[in-house]
Amino acid sequence: MEVMTCPGGCIGGGGQPRTKIPMTDDIRTDRMRSLYDKDRKTAVRCSHDNPDIKRVYESFYTEPLSPRAKKLLHTEYHSRAADLG
């Protein structure tokens, strides 16, 4: 699941695939416009409204934030600063 919670959806930011074409502001702007246009045209825009997600929760996770959902879907931050060196 892609989660784009920062302004502009972190277009071309950390965690995004690298490309052979260098990321420029024009490319980022075009990509952002394209993603927002696609989002506007999508019938189900929120994961909690997605019938497939609802079915998975009903049949497997039971409810959001259930112990099973927390164990399998959530993560915790672990500092890796010591690994840098």
Rounded average pLDDT per 10-residue block, the chain, 85 residues = 58 68 82 88 90 95 94 87 81
What the block records as the tokens of 67 is: 């112990």
Torsion, CA 54, CA 58, CA 60, CA 61, rounded to 10:
80
The CA–CA distances, whole Å, from 13 to 10, 24, 25, 32, 61 equal: 5, 11, 12, 12, 32
pTM above 0.85, yes or no: no
Helix and strand totals (H; E) in the chain = 3, 0
End-to-end CA distance of the chain, in Å? 32
Query: CB–CB of 9/32 below 8 Å?
Result: yes
